[in-house]
């Protein structure tokens, strides 16, 4: 299926996302940090980037900006633990400016993640 880069500092979330995507027959490269993800983006081609936003030291925004620079056509899905206190239209406006295709809310629901990944990949 697709070659997907997953970025999340939380090992439990990273492993869950990886297992869900591998079960759906995708090839997954998982990174625990923004710098590791940027290194992967520098040397490898991916069909999709799935990244957390809130991470220590370097955040998902930096990963997305690097992806835009290194791989301008790379599709992006954000994993977001941003809660209801942040208006959805505000976070979506920021994500739209970065070219984010979809936002999947945490906690991750496997069926939602699989359907969002499929939708982004099929959209071409």
Distance of CA 49 to the CA centre of its chain: 5
* pLDDT at res. 84: 56
* pLDDT at res. 24: 97
Instruction: State both tokens at 104.
Output: 């999947």
* pLDDT at res. 91: 67
* pLDDT at res. 88: 64
* pLDDT at res. 73: 95
* pLDDT at res. 70: 97
* pLDDT at res. 69: 96
Instruction: State both tokens at 13.
Output: 């979330």
| Nearest-10 Cα torsion for 10, 111, 84, 122 | 100
SS3 category, 8: coil
pTM of the model: 0.92
User: Which residue ranges of the chain lie beneath pLDDT 70?
Assistant: 82-91, 124
């Amino acid at each position: 299926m697709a070659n997907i880069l997953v970025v999340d500092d939380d090992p439990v979330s990273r492993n869950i996302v990886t297992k869900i995507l591998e079960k759906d027959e995708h090839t997954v490269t998982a990174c625990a940090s923004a710098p590791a993800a940027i290194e992967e983006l520098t040397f490898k081609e991916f069909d999709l980037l799935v990244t957390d936003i809130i991470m220590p030291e370097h955040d998902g925004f930096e990963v997305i900006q690097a992806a835009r620079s290194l791989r301008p056509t790379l599709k992006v899905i954000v994993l977001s633990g941003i809660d209801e206190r942040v208006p959805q239209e505000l976070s979506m406006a920021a994500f739209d400016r970065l070219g984010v295709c979809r936002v999947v809310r945490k906690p991750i629901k496997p069926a939602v993640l699989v359907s969002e990944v499929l939708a982004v990949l099929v959209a071409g």
